[in-house]
Amino acid sequence: MTAPLQSILGHLEQLVAHDTQNPPRNLNPESSLFATLREALPGFETSIDDGGEGCLGFLATRGTTDTLFNVHIDTVPATDAWTKDPFTLERGNDRAIGLGACDIKGAAACLLAAAAETDAPAAFLFTTDEEAGSSVAVRRFLETSPRYERVIVGEPTQSIAVTRHRGIYAGTLTLAGEAGHASQGGLSAVHEAARFITQALTESWAKDDRLNFGRIEGGIKPNMIAPSCEIQFGLRCMPGENPDPRVERLRVLAGAALETDTTRFWGPALPPADPEARFRQVELNEYFYGLDIEVGSPVDFWTEAALFSKAGLPVAVLGPGDIAQAHTADEFVLYDHLTTAYNAYLKILTDG
């Protein structure tokens, strides 16, 4: 095992040991996690922006640089399907196993190891609220942050630079029925939901735009006609596509039973649909080619990189791990991915 990998795993072990599950997002500026980060970053100036409810941005800077690295260090909750202690890093033959090892504490560990290898200027923004879909920390940072020539967001891309990904829209539809005794028949909100979902999934765009119905809740008991049913859904449109026509089509399909509809979360695609943003991303590809860092195809998952791009900053997603391992029980990251990400981060840091 190489010295850099040993360093990375040492940092990753410490990071995994901190419970940063989101929800419940039980973090505050005094949490021991931040003491760990400060200890790993000697010579850095640090500050914490507290957006409330555990939405924190930890900024660490050394000198002045053109590049900002951003990594979220919150994780999804550990489920009962875990067969190991999720907060104790297990080192296998070719992988490290632990909650957040893939998504995305592995990237944070790579950054900490790379920062120790060079005295080059650096800027790291670690955030705690990505997994709950609020992105308060990044949004607050963008309101007052200095401008950077480029931003690197750590997410599981198998250590390949990605400059395009889908947007995300999450919404809730509530369908109404008429309460009554099931023996008499009548308008059931649950039946209307089943009809609506069946129709929606046959739309020509449903598969391509990753239409997903993630939660359905309604009714009271089997002998009662359901008076209400809530449906939570999501869409992931490609760059340049607007989700609004799709959402409007869903409203039409819901028909007269539609009682309310709300937007839970909307994140733009990377890049947003304007020529200047697309040009910035093309220039960023050239930057990576010049450093001999592999550039990959667009990915289907959404990241907070889109928020940086919308704010006018060239941004790429680059981090160890495979998205197929994110949010899974016994989550792991391959050593090869960690080493490749470390080398890429080190090139970017020393390039300035």
Is 103 a known ligand-binding residue? Answer: yes
The vertex-189 CA angle with 184 and 191, nearest 5°, equals: 75
Cis peptide before 23 (omega within 30 of 0): yes
Is 72 a known ligand-binding residue? Answer: yes
Catalytic residue set: 130
Whole-number Å distance between alpha carbons of 101 and 58: 19
Is 66 a known ligand-binding residue? Answer: no
CA proximity to 342, closest of 73, 101, 94, 109: 109
Residue length, the chain?
352
Distance from the Cα of residue 73 to its chain's centroid: 10
Helix, coil or strand: residue 266 = strand
Cross-strand partners of 168? 267
Cross-strand partners of 56? 50
Q: Write the burial class of residue 199 (CB in 10 Å: 0-12 exposed, 13-18 middle, 19+ buried).
A: middle
Known binding residues for Co(2+) are 72, 103, 155
Known binding residues are 72, 103, 155
